[in-house]
Structure 1
Amino acid sequence: MRLQKYLAHAGVASRRASEQIVADGRVTVDGEVVHDPATDVGPGDDVRVDGRSVTPVSDTVVYALNKPAGVVSTAKDTHRRETVVELVPADGRRLYPVGRLDAETTGLILLTDDGELADLLTHPRYEVQKVYIAEVAGGPVGHDTVDALRSGVQLDDGPTLPAGVERMNERMLRITLREGRKRQVRRMCEAVGHPVVSLRRVKLGPLDVGSLRPGQWRLLEASEIEALRAAPVRTGADRD
């Protein structure tokens, strides 16, 4: 197994972050500092980060949580706000959220100790779909506005990719994204003159929020985790 994948499975960090940790010279294998994240390691190797031994977790856990408003999507918060990690039982595992929802956005978020899975679901090149329900202000949403959102909107960090947009009624939109920029749905709607009043994510890849009420969570079954791993494949992305 490649070193960055080994570290991700051990819950040290995502695969991308693990690559940087290796590049910074913080990792040793059998007592030797390693700088190449593609180095092969196995069960018999003594892998350490900053001198601490790390071992991949044999059984990955993934929680699906319906995030309430006001809860932040981080493992720790310097302002002592409630975090999504505090809403699920960690049982001694180092859990972290898969991507982020801003504090006032509600709905489906995943928490896991599997850094590789988190990377597969959040890296831009995999284009895993995310579905949101947005209630907007600014009067009735017209067909021209829907067409503009579908085609892509110019934001301060560049144009968005084409999006799936369905008008549920004059004030409600179902928006499907293939990218995950910061506050993207809110910024897109603001750009077309319809600021978001409330926003809820209802689906990530093949998984939907289902009957979970705000604040409720459930452990995913093995078949659901495998379906999440396959989600990038269905976009045609390269999984090297």
Structure 2
Amino acid sequence: MNRRPPPSRPAPPPAPVRTDGLVRLNKLLAERGLCSRREADAWIEQGWVKVDGAPAVIGQPVRADAAIDIDPRARQQQGSQVTVILHKPVGYVSGQPEDGHEAAVTLVQARNRWRDDGSPRRFDPAQLRGLAPAGRLDIDSTGILVLTQDGRVARQLIGEDSGIQKEYLVRVQWAPNGPQGVGVVAQDVQSVLPRDRLALLRHGLSLDGQRLKPAEVTWQNPEQLRFVLTEGKKRQIRRMCEAVGLHVVGLKRVRIGRVVLGQLPVGQWRYLGPDERF
């Protein structure tokens, strides 16, 4: 009598590839300050990146100390990228057009270039490709807005670990019952704002359930405050002021890191200088 052979057991699944202590290649390139993650993936697709002598692939896990070689063509492409400093007017949005309002990037045209721009670069419409804001400035605010094609600049200004200072001049009114309520004070606001409210602006407020980082807040004159922040939540200064009984009637960003707005006219732009650093 023939016996049936025992049923074959299914092959065991392949052992998972261990990635202990490894990091994705695009993240490592960004952490080394070589490019943004998106730019890294583009370089890898072009075949411009090698890891320990071998061509890289998208999503590749690598050691933190891996030897990475970048093709000179990637550096050349990166060197052609531009960063623009724009004096954004009120009424323009920082990002995509919305509610009938134009995007600030539409102002980056040859006719709006500041005549005192010292950069030797010549404007080329191709420079608008991928030119995106590195940070926000709300529609009712004016001042310095950075637009860049360079992922390194974007990461420096808006990356998770960014600690770049942003400085603002903020004209305020004392309006503890709201801007339309009774008791609004528009002159010599400094004399009526309680000291404990000013202390709260400096540290102690929360927005969206998160405690805000300490801020430098001082009086510039009796109706204007100077804020220096290292974070940028949506309409942060306006909401901070509202929380302590102040109403913002004018807000202007005058500095990002070491780059200042200076004499750049409203609605005009210039290139980030070759020796300027945020």
Same fold (TM over 0.5): yes
Secondary structure of 1:92's match?
Answer: helix
Paired letter, 1:111: L
CA distance in 2, matches of 1:193, 1:18: 45
Check if 1:87 corresponds to 2:71.
no
Give 1:42's aligned residue: 70
* C-alpha spacing 1:86/1:41, structure 2 compared with 1 (3 Å): farther
Paired letter, 2:125: D
Question: How many percent identity over aligned positions?
Answer: 35
CA distance in 2, matches of 1:158, 1:16: 27
Tell me how far 1:216 sits from its aligned partner: 1.3
Q: How many residues align?
A: 208
Contact 2:26 2:38 in 1 (8 A): no
Contact 1:135 1:196 in 2 (8 A): yes
CA distance in 2, matches of 1:103, 1:3: 34
1:49-71 deviations in whole A, cap 9, x for unaligned? xxxxxx83323322111100011
Check if 1:66 corresponds to 2:94.
no
Check if 1:110 corresponds to 2:146.
yes
Tell me how far 1:28 sits from its aligned partner: 3.6
CA distance in 2, matches of 1:62, 1:37: 31
Is 201-210 or 191-200 further displaced after alignment? 191-200
In the alignment, structure 1 segments of 5+ residues that lack a partner are 48-54, 229-240
Contact 1:65 1:110 in 2 (8 A): yes
Contact 2:167 2:228 in 1 (8 A): yes
Paired letter, 1:85: V
Secondary structure of 2:77's match?
Answer: coil
Q: How does 1:1-240 map to 2 (within 5 A)?
A: 3=26, 5=29, 15=36, 28=45, 30=47, 34-36=58-60, 40=68, 42-43=70-71, 56-74=77-95, 76-77=96-97, 79=99, 81-89=101-109, 91-93=125-127, 94-137=130-173, 138=175, 139=185, 140=189, 141-224=193-276, 227-228=277-278
Query: What TM-score does the superposition give when structure 2 sets the normalisation length?
Result: 0.64
Contact 1:98 1:112 in 2 (8 A): yes
Secondary structure of 2:153's match?
Answer: helix
In the alignment, structure 2 segments of 5+ residues that lack a partner are 1-24, 48-54, 110-123, 176-184
* C-alpha spacing 1:113/1:129, structure 2 compared with 1 (3 Å): same
Secondary structure of 1:195's match?
Answer: strand
CA distance in 1, matches of 2:36, 2:234: 20
Tell me how far 1:125 sits from its aligned partner: 1.9
Contact 1:202 1:209 in 2 (8 A): yes
Paired letter, 2:230: R
Secondary structure of 2:157's match?
Answer: helix
Tell me how far 1:16 sits from its aligned partner: 5.3
Is 100-109 or 140-149 further displaced after alignment? 140-149
CA-based RMSD of the aligned residues comes to 3.2
Tell me how far 1:143 sits from its aligned partner: 2.6
CA distance in 1, matches of 2:38, 2:260: 27
Is 58-67 or 171-180 further displaced after alignment? 58-67
Tell me how far 1:44 sits from its aligned partner: 7.4
CA distance in 2, matches of 1:84, 1:102: 11
Contact 1:16 1:119 in 2 (8 A): no
Tell me how far 1:155 sits from its aligned partner: 2.0
